[in-house]
Amino acid sequence: MIAIVLAGVGLGVGTFGFRFAGASLKSRMTLSARTQHLLTASSVVLLVALVGTSTLLDGGSFAGWARPAGVAVGGLLAWRKAPFVVVVLAAAAVAAGLRLLGVR
CB of 81 to other proteins, least distance (A): 9
Helices (H), the chain: 2-28, 33-56, 66-79, 84-100
Neighbours of 62 (CB within 10 A): 11
CB of 76 to other proteins, least distance (A): 10
CB of 41 to other proteins, least distance (A): 4
Neighbours of 52 (CB within 10 A): 12
C-alpha span between 100 and 88 (Å, rounded): 18
